[in-house]
Each structure stands twice: as C-alpha cells, then as structure tokens.
Amino acid sequence: MKRRIINQIIQFLTSGETSVYRLIDAQDSSLPEFLEVLDELVSDRVITLENGKVRLSDKGEEIAKELGAVNAEVRCVCCDGTGYGIAKEFEEILARYKEIAKERPETCEMYDQGFLGAEDVLRRVEFMYERGDLLNSEIFVVGDDDLFSIASTLTGMPKEVSVIDIDDRLIDFINSVAEELSLPVEAEVCDAQEELPEKFRGKYDVFVTDPVETVPGLKLFLSRGVSALKGEGCSGYFGLTTLEASRKKWYEIQRILHDMGFVVTDLRRKFSVYPEEEKNFFRYQEKLPIVRRIGARIDYNFYTSSFYRIEAVRTPEPAVKGRMVLDEAVYKDSESWATPY
C-alpha cells in the first residue's frame, strides 16, 4: 500500500507546489498512514514541506522523471468526479434546499457534527432515486446534520421520513421547516445510546446515516438504522471516509455488515465533501489533530466521503440491540485525525 500512496503523491506533485490539504485529497490512505509516508519522503529529501506547502525536490523531480509520472486529470470535472450531475428535475429543489439550509443551526463539536455541501446532498438524493429507494418509500434517518430529510421530501417522492437526533436545535429546525412547507417529515430527539423506541422498529424501507468513524460508533449507528428496517430487501445508505477509516477498519465494517445480513450493492468513492463554511466543523479547526500536526490552517476542502448502499439479503439482525454507552472510544480512535480533541 505504501508504494501506491507514494505513487499518488509523486504523480500529483509533478504539476508543481501544492497545499498539503490538496495533496491529502489526491491520495486515499488514512491520515495517519499519509503522514507517515509524508515524513518518510521529507526525510529522504524527495519532497519539501514548508508552511503547509509541498513540492518535489530536485531528487524528487528526477525520481518522477524516471518513473514517467504525470498528473493527469482523469476524473470528470463536470460532476466533481461523482458520476452524478444535478438533473434539471432537481435544479429547483437544490435552490430551495440551499435557501433553507442557510438558516440551519451551527454544528456542535460535542456531537461531532459536520454537514455536506448542498450539491452533494442532492447527489445523494438523486442516487437513491436512481436505485428506486426514494419513490413512495418510508425512510429512517439516524442523525441529520445534512438535512437530508428536507432535501429528499422537497422532491415530493418519499411517503414518509422520520429523523432521530440528539440535538434538539436540529430537531426543532427540521420540524419547523417541515410544518411550514407541509413536508412528510417528523423529527424526534432520541439518544442513540438507547435501544430504538418500539414505534420505529421494523417500520421502514430504507435507512440513512453518517456514523461516527470508529468501529464501535459505526456498529452502533448502523445497528439503529438496521433496527428500523422492515426486513429482507430493505436497504441502507451511509457515508465513510478513507481519511479516518483505514483499510483494516473498512474490512471490519464490511464483516459487521455481512454478519447483520447485508450485501454491499454500491460504493461511490469520494462522493461527498464537507465544505469549509461558516457553520461547519472547520470553525474549530484549531482543535483538529491534523491541523496541529501540519501547523497550517486548512485551505482546501479535503474531507471527502464515500457513499455505501447496502441491501438486506435475509432478515437483518442489528449488531447492537440494547443500550450502548457512548464514551470517548465511540467517538475517537487512533485514526480520528479530523475529529476535534
């Protein structure tokens, strides 16, 4: 894996000096693994790193030349490499969603909150539409920092969307928008530590969540979503980064999904980005380990997330059924370099 990450770094730097945060986005290892490789390349004098800027040294230029490395833009620039543009049928929905989202509450670091860019939320909606999981569906959302419930019901397609979240500010905002616009959304304050209330269990076709990226956190949030599903053939969607989730963690997550009765039907790499906006989690970037480690402020939207679709091939069984206490180990682990400490 290290050789591959070195290749990604060297080939990207053939275009010249760049921000270290832009370089993070050009490779796909976890942040601890990236920093280890970066240190080695600096130590070997292949690259230089000063004030958050990275470039190839003379030695690095020679290595790149010998390798035949080039920085080719191979991802589609029209759709930000996602494969999904905003269809004309969804353009008005995007505009309305943007206006609504301007009034959202600020993220709260205590709850490890962060939200996606507006276009990325709509791409998720479009993706679910394409997969047949939006029209006339009953959808359960575990945590809704992204206001997915609002974006999805603005299409007029879901039959019902239920939201649970620990943040009463967010719940009040979602319910007020839903009431004002007569959207089929109902949001309720609910602590994911507790077993899912009976009224939510086994009632939904689809669940959506963006879980905490530790193995215990993922197991907990996915289990709450799974508990809400009706049964075989139902689906779930969730985001997962490579920055705070190494390959070994992905392996463990996929094992958990298998044990719960699911197959991965779709995996869209770097499908969403968490932008640097006034109300988003970059507001407290001085508390992010990656910023302290690099010693430079974030100047590029590097925090991207892949998007999973899973489907139950038998009666789904949540990995966590009862109460599970949220301690620091649920929110943070050795790979949580973009989580505020």
**Residue type for position 54:** V
In a domain, 241, yes or no: yes
**Closest Cα partner for 154 from 107, 92, 219?**
92
How many domains does the chain divide into?
Answer: 2
Which domain-ending residue is among 67, 99, 123? 67
Q: One-letter amino acid identity for 334?
A: S
Instruction: Name the domain boundary from 17, 37, 67.
Output: 67
CB 86 within 8 A of CB 95: no
Cβ contact 140:204 at 8 Å = yes
Rounded-to-integer distance, Cα 260 and Cα 207, Å: 14
Predicted TM-score (pTM) of the model is: 0.95
Helix or strand (DSSP H, E) at 103 = none
- pLDDT tens per residue across all 341 residues of the chain: 799 999 999 999 999 999 999 999 999 999 999 999 999 999 999 999 999 999 999 999 999 999 999 999 898 988 989 999 999 999 999 999 999 999 998 877 766 778 899 999 999 999 999 999 999 999 999 999 999 999 999 999 999 999 999 999 999 999 999 999 999 999 999 988 899 999 999 999 999 999 989 999 999 999 999 999 999 999 999 999 999 999 999 999 999 999 999 999 999 999 999 887 767 777 778 888 999 999 999 999 999 999 999 999 999 999 999 888 777 666 788 999 988 76
Together in a domain, 324 and 200: yes
Longest dimension (CA), the chain: 65
Q: Specify the CATH number for the domain of residue 210.
A: 3.40.50.150
Claim to verify: residue 142 and residue 243 sit in the same structural domain: yes
Residues 33 and 92 in one domain: no
The verdict on 61 and 93 lying in the same domain is no
